[in-house]
Amino acid sequence: MNTKVSVVIPAFNEEESIKNFLVRVVDVLKSNHDYEILVVNDGSVDTTEEIVKTCAFENPKIRLLSLARNSGHMAALTAGIDNCEGDWVVTIDADGQDPPELIPDMISKAISEDADICFMVRANRKNDPRRHQLFSPIFYRVLNKASGNTVPLQAADFRLMSRRVIIALRQLPERNRLYRVLTPELKFKSTTMKYTRNDRMAGNSKYKFSALAKLGLRSLLATTGAPLRWLSVSSLLVAFISLLASSIALVLGIVGSGIPGWASITFMISIMMTFQAVAIGIISEFLLTAIADIRQRPIYQLKANN
């Protein structure tokens, strides 16, 4: 490989695994004459920062970027993406579950298929906690449906991106970022590769189930706009039912069926519900349009050879 490869590694309290993981990454990349390993210390309160500093002193190709406080996984990834220099960029977690040994295959596959992105898709979740095995497939299917079937199922934050993708990501104005949604939304040509996750090299996951649930909810609200679309469709359905109910009440009132006065009350309530439902639907569609303009996601992408 004659191009520069950057590996972005967000790390939060990974003192038990970070050194051995960096050794693995260096072993993979050392045959390439130009590479960098950018570790983003996400406000760790253990010795993660000191360990990485020592590794960087021993190997100048390892860089440390420390955040002032714990800002979250997406913020750490953003910091890495904003500061990496490679022609190809790999994002990977520091726990060792995603194997860095696959990086050369990822690059080869992307180049051979003329793709700008290689999504790493989990073949199974046998090494994950049982609750993750149960809820993660549901989350990914809902997220994929909400994003218009653009998000590869079981593809998290282990991926390869070309320099063109990195430049496009840097230009996005969004603050609430979920890269598993944003990256396919950029509309670059992509490919996928299946792999099996390993057990953690050491320690426990820093992502508790409650944090994952919050991330899933934020993913839908902040990145896809799908809840607004679902609200819009539901409002139109309610409007149709209310309009039908008001029509039935009007007819029954005319023919004098039922308790006196009930038809007129039912008719007025149904008309008000119809108006409110239609109004909610219109507001939802307006907000969806406004959100699309605010996000400024690319409408198209040209091929690399243009």
CB count within 10 Å of CB 271 equals 16
Identify whether the C-beta of residue 41 lies closer than 8 Å to the C-beta of residue 65: yes
**Average confidence score pLDDT of the chain:** 80
- 29-63 pLDDT, tens digit each: 988 768 999 999 999 999 999 999 999 999 999 99
The predicted model gives 123-132 an average pLDDT of 63
Q: Which of 155, 95, 159 is nearest to 123 (CA)?
A: 155
Q: What number of residues does the chain have?
A: 306
pTM for the full predicted model: 0.73
Tokens of 24: 């693995």
Identify whether the C-beta of residue 125 lies closer than 8 Å to the C-beta of residue 135: no
- 200-218 pLDDT, tens digit each: 666 565 556 566 666 666 6
What is the pLDDT at residue 7? 97
- 255-278 pLDDT, tens digit each: 766 566 666 677 677 777 777 777
Query: Can you list the positions of beta strands (E) in 239-283?
Result: none
**Beta 88-91 vs 155-162: how paired, if at all?**
antiparallel
Is the pLDDT at 252 greater than 80, yes or no? no
The predicted model gives 7-14 an average pLDDT of 95
Residues 46/51/53/55 CA torsion (nearest 10 deg): -160
Contacts of 185 (CB under 8 A, 6+ apart): 147, 150, 297
- 13-31 pLDDT, tens digit each: 999 999 999 999 999 998 8
Residue 101: pLDDT band (50, 70, 90) is very high
Tokens of 18: 């970070």
Give the whole-angstrom CA distance, residue 45 versus residue 65.
15
What is the pLDDT at residue 62? 96
Instruction: Output 218 or 174, whichever has higher pLDDT.
Output: 174
Domain boundaries, the chain: 5-224, 226-295
- Options 3.30.230.20, 3.30.499.10, 3.90.550.10, 3.40.640.10; CATH for 5-224 is 3.90.550.10
What is the pLDDT at residue 23? 95
Helix 18-29 with 48-58: angle, nearest 10 deg: 30
Q: Angle at Cα 157 formed by Cα 153 and Cα 160, nearest 5°?
A: 95
Identify whether the C-beta of residue 37 lies closer than 8 Å to the C-beta of residue 7: yes
Which range among 57-71, 76-90, 174-188 shows the weakest confidence by mean pLDDT? Answer: 174-188
